Amino acid sequence: MIQKIDNATVREAVQQAYERCKNETGGKNADYIPYLANVPSNLFGIAACLPDGEVIAVGDTDYKFGIESVSKVPTAILAMNQYSAQEMLDKIGADATGLPFNSIMAILLENDHPSTPLVNAGAISACSMVKPVGDSDGKWKSIVGFIEGLAGSQVEVIDELYKSETATNFNNKSIAWLLKNYNRIYDDPDMSLDIYTRQCSIGVTAKQLATMAATIANGGVNPVTKQPVFKPELAPKIASLMATVGFYEHTGDWLFTTGLPAKTGVGGGIMGVVPGVMGVAAFAPPLDEAGNSVKAQKALAYVAGHLNLNIFGTTRCVMAEKEPAKA
């Protein structure tokens, strides 16, 4: 069955989700990175980006927070776009680990590849694969340019966050060098880790995350700028990776509950992709024990349930065609 929705229906669902979830107090800010512990815990915003480029936004949707692990999504797409989906599958893989995002055990268990570009090991490996653009700091320029293409606007590193992450990323250092041990990193491990740490420290807004998600939902064409950003055949590849591991060891629970491919970050952001329909995002800093925002999960689960966004559902939600303007 097809269920047609229009922009007004989405606006209403986003507003209702905000009202229902704004008083949720569960979870705790990430504190293993000192900067994140000090972000105001009461910030909360929800955004959706629709195929015509309308960005619906309620709450703190202009606040710049650390993109953190949501950055694993653009870098995975970039690596696939520069090489191919098959090469990323061969070099990194597409399996869920069922383990925490920074698991060393996952690398030891599956030492022939780092599992998926959406956990730390695979993401550091993906950073090592990225081909540079320009002359100096080319890999970094390549990643930032790609994220800006997806978001349709400029992004920059939150310097204090980058310093805070760099001073405390001992576990990730072990991951980078363990990958080297298994020949699963494709450039210098320290440099690849630095690129990964910098990309996690990029500041984004919920509006930007929703637009990034909408670009994926729209087959690689940004619905706001109308610019093509990546090859359309990669959209289902990245959505499948998000569906299988986007919430780490809680991914099954999330997918069972909502049927929405999504990716979280310890900054409190979550970005969800409804293939062919829209991008949604929510932001609230307090996290559950797996590192996923409690309030953002509730908000997006409400929107997904209310609008029938479950990709496994028998009712397919599509955006209604707009009435042509009367002459």
Residue found by looking up tokens 């069972």 in the block? 256
How far apart, in whole angstroms, are the C-alpha atoms of residue 168 and residue 32?
Answer: 8
- Applying CB under 6 A, among 45, 261, 279, 291 the residue interacting with ligand DON is 291
Q: How far is the CB of 86 from ligand DON (least distance, A)?
A: 27
- Beta-strand relationship, 316-319 and 2-5: parallel
* Residue placing its CB nearer to ligand DON in the complex, 196 or 230: 196
Residue 172 in contact with ligand DON, rule: CB under 6 A: yes
State the number of binding residues for ligand DON (CB under 6 A). Answer: 13
Beta bridge partner(s), residue 203 = 66, 156
Name the 3-class secondary structure at 287: strand
Closest by CA position to 208, among listed 144, 264, 263, 279: 279
Residue 265 in contact with ligand DON, rule: CB under 6 A: yes
How far apart, in whole angstroms, are the C-alpha atoms of residue 259 and residue 141?
Answer: 34
Given the rule CB under 6 A, which of 17-25, 126-134, 150-158, 263-271 is the region that contacts ligand DON? 263-271
Applying the rule CB under 6 A, the residues between 196 and 215 that interact with ligand DON are: 200
Applying the rule CB under 6 A, the residues between 67 and 96 that interact with ligand DON are: 68-69
Q: Is position 110 annotated in a ligand binding site? A: no
Name the H helices within the chain.
Answer: 7-21, 34-37, 72-82, 85-91, 105-109, 120-129, 138-151, 159-166, 170-181, 189-200, 206-217, 235-245, 251-258, 294-307
Residue 249 in contact with ligand DON, rule: CB under 6 A: no
How far apart, in whole angstroms, are the C-alpha atoms of residue 260 and residue 225?
Answer: 25
Q: How far is the CB of 32 from ligand DON (least distance, A)?
A: 7
Angstrom CA distances, 21 to 58, 169, 210, 270, 288, stand at 12, 33, 18, 15, 15
How far apart, in whole angstroms, are the C-alpha atoms of residue 123 and residue 72?
Answer: 6
- Applying CB under 6 A, among 18, 35, 44, 101 the residue interacting with ligand DON is 101
How far apart, in whole angstroms, are the C-alpha atoms of residue 58 and residue 245?
Answer: 27
Q: How far is the CB of 139 from ligand DON (least distance, A)?
A: 17
Angle of helix 235-245 versus helix 251-258 axis, rounded to 10: 110
Q: Is position 321 annotated in a ligand binding site? A: no
Given the rule CB under 6 A, which of 2-10, 145-153, 264-272, 297-305 is the region that contacts ligand DON? 264-272
Residue 266 in contact with ligand DON, rule: CB under 6 A: yes
Given the rule CB under 6 A, which of 48-56, 81-89, 143-151, 259-267 is the region that contacts ligand DON? 259-267
Residue 285 in contact with ligand DON, rule: CB under 6 A: no
Q: Is position 172 annotated in a ligand binding site? A: yes
* Residue placing its CB nearer to ligand DON in the complex, 69 or 75: 69
Q: How far is the CB of 111 from ligand DON (least distance, A)?
A: 20
Name the 3-class secondary structure at 214: helix
Name the 3-class secondary structure at 66: strand
Instruction: Give the x-and-dash track for 114-133 against ligand DON (CB under 6 A).
Output: ------x-------------
Give the annotated binding-site residues for substrate. 69, 120, 165, 172, 196, 248, 266
Per CB under 6 A, residues contacting ligand DON are 68-69, 101-102, 120, 165, 172, 200, 264-266, 291-292
